[in-house]
Structure 1
Amino acid sequence: METISTLFDHLFRLQAAPPTPIVVATAVVALLAVAVDVVWRRVRHAVTIAHEGGHALVALLTGRRLHGIRLHSDTSGVTFTRGRERGLSAVLTLLAGYLAPAVLGLLLAWLVGSGRVVLSLWLCLLLLVAMAVFIRNLYGVLAMLVTGAVVFAVAWWAPADVQATLAYLGVWLMSFGAIRPVWEVHRQRRGRRDGHSDPDQLAGITPVPALVWLLFFALANLAMLAVVARMLIPGLW
């Protein structure tokens, strides 16, 4: 019982938010990481994990069968599900990918903004472990192990101020990182319509064109970024 009580206290202890300049600094660092190509190629793996995790989670919630997830060294990924080719479950599963990083960022912002930094880190670790069960390639396993080890180390050993700073940085990376892939897939589609991207597949099973789906992803992710900024930076507007 004492161990359970200690674990509960560890998970749910409240931490004071870092000073506003630190919060703003983490946002600037995250923005630069997403904007600078050489850095983006490294941090994009975390965004891809969230993207594919979104597909997988919604597939399971809507009754589809999840056959596996593959993560690739070029930061791409693919989630294999089985179910009706059309219909609500197919649409929601395809929708989830490009929205998942921003949704995760919003959820984590709510947790860290209310002082539950440790809980946010352990939630990320739990999601990684649940997702790792469905990884079907060696590189994907390695990527999940490295990501999970980093999150665990921060959650278990890092001082409180380091935990808070890195948690805020993770929130901003998810929120900013949700936007760039939408622009990237738009650029890739220009002059080449192979039908493999999420918006192209959505266009194939709905009457809505792929470009409209891309615009929806962009606006939704920008809106969630605005909410995150409002939550984490007091007096922003």
Structure 2
Amino acid sequence: MEELWATLIEAQPDPSPWVVLGSALAALAIVSFRTSWHLSRGLITIAHEGGHALAALLTRRKLEGIRLHSDTSGVTLTRGRPNGPGMVLTALAGYVAPSLLGLAAAWLTEQGRITLLIWTVLLFLVCMLLLIRNVYGALILLATGGAVFALSMYAPDDVQQAVALVAVWFLLFGGVRPIIELQRKRRLRQARDSDADQLARLTILPGGFYVLFFLLVACASVVAGGYLMNPLP
């Protein structure tokens, strides 16, 4: 166990500025283009639903399961009081989860803890798999977890570092776009049961306030994560 822990916390050398910049541009391109975003958006949904699930557990709501769908949507099923702080925090956690996870990952990356980051992601995916309640969700988690495991076992350190940086930037940038899409759907009255509208029904504040809150958290995470991974001396 001591050897395993020493391996997990071993720090890798700092990446070159070009690797950091290239990974940021690659992640931004993935998020910006429609086709690549549609193919990768499910990863943001995993983080989104994981945020709901974690908040439900922390507020002692009964977590009944998670479903991930092929249209990149998802739902986290909980049971408990239909209102109150626990329900509010559970609904609040989804849209900010990818950005906050990206910020935490940026901190680990800045510390050089790439191995620890990769195995933390694996642990997160395993916990999600235990809670999944549909076949497609199980398949997408197994595929994602298998890719991460293969990366950790067979890829050289520099490849692991580059992929980890792309993933961190993807979480940071990818945390912003769903919020913009959410507001667009709300403006067209196509998202009456969105997290923001559920929060509006649970509290005295309008749904637009929560969309703005989500966006502020996401943008602040991008700025803070960029500061942590700043490649310049």
TM-score bracket relative to the smaller structure: over 0.9
Match of 1:231 in 2: 228
Return the match for 1:38 from 29, 35, 39. Answer: 35
Quote the residue 2:44 is aligned against.
47
In the alignment, the residues of structure 1 paired with residue 21 and residue 131 of structure 2 have an alpha-carbon distance, to the nearest angstrom, of 36
Task: Tell me, in whole angstroms, the C-alpha distance in 1 between the residues paired with 2:149 and 2:101.
Answer: 18
Tell me the percent identity: 48
Which of 166, 173, 176 is equivalent to 2:173? 176
Deviation at 1:135, TM superposition (A): 0.3
Distance 1:235 1:163 in 2: 21
Q: Deviations over 1:202-234 (max 9, x none)?
A: 001101111111011011110011000000014
| Structure 1 residue 21 corresponds to structure 2 residue 18 | yes
Aligned residues: 233
Q: Within 5 Å, which residues of 2 pair with 1:55-94? A: 55-94=52-91
Report if the CA contact (8 A) 1:17-1:164 is conserved: no
Give 5+ residue unaligned stretches, structure 1.
Answer: none
Runs (4+) of structure 1 moved beyond 6 Å? none
Runs of 5+ consecutive residues of structure 2 not aligned to the other structure: none
SS of equivalent residue, structure 1 residue 69: strand
Q: What pairs up with 1:118-129 in 2 under 5 angstroms? A: 118-129=115-126
Instruction: Please give the root-mean-square deviation of Cα atoms over the aligned residues, in Å.
Output: 1.2
Match of 2:148 among 148, 151, 167: 151
Change (3 A) 1:194 1:26: closer
2:24 and 2:202 mapped to 1: Cα distance?
Answer: 37
Counterpart for residue 187 of structure 1: 184
- Scaled by the length of structure 1, what TM-score is found? 0.95
Q: How many Å separate the matches in 2 of 1:191 and 1:34?
A: 23
Q: Secondary structure at the match of 2:82?
A: coil
1:99-128 C-alpha deviation (Å, 9 max, x unpaired):
000110011111111010000000000011
Query: How far apart are 1:235 and its partner, in Å?
Result: 4.3
What TM-score comes out, normalization by structure 2 length? 0.97
SS in 2 for 1:18: coil
Match of residue 198 from structure 2: 201
Q: Distance in 2 between matches of 1:41 and 1:229?
A: 24
Amino acid at match of 2:180: W
State the match for 2:212 in structure 1.
Answer: 215
